Amino acid sequence: VRPILFKERARDMPEQLVDMQWKLGMAVSSDTCRSLNSPYVSLLLKIAEPSGQISQKALEMTIPQFQNFHKQFKEMAAIMETV
């Protein structure tokens, strides 16, 4: 079990994930770099605050970052099964 570093900021009022949308994209070119060739995973999280208000959070990850995120989720699920 990993050491948990929770800072005070949000842990008292955790929010619920209502929905998660995803997109797999490839950044091809930009004004500062003509040849990006960079795949990425884009997530749109729909989150319900304790008040009931729904907010959206978008985030972007590289492929290795997503794979690590996925791995952590699997570990978390495995622990939940044993608890």
Q: Which residues bind another protein (CB under 8 A)?
A: 2, 4-7, 9-11, 13-17, 20, 22, 24, 27, 30, 32-36, 38-42, 45, 47, 57-61, 63, 65-70, 72-74, 76-77, 79-81, 83
Question: How far apart are CB 79 and another protein at their closest, in Å?
Answer: 5
Between the alpha carbon of residue 10 and those of residues 7, 25, 31, 49, the distances in Å are 7, 30, 37, 11
Question: How far apart are CB 37 and another protein at their closest, in Å?
Answer: 9
Give me the phi and psi of 73, to 5 degrees please: -60, -40
Angle at 77 between CA 73 and CA 80, to 5 degrees: 140
Cβ–Cβ under 8 Å, residues 17 and 38:
no
Question: How far apart are CB 3 and another protein at their closest, in Å?
Answer: 9
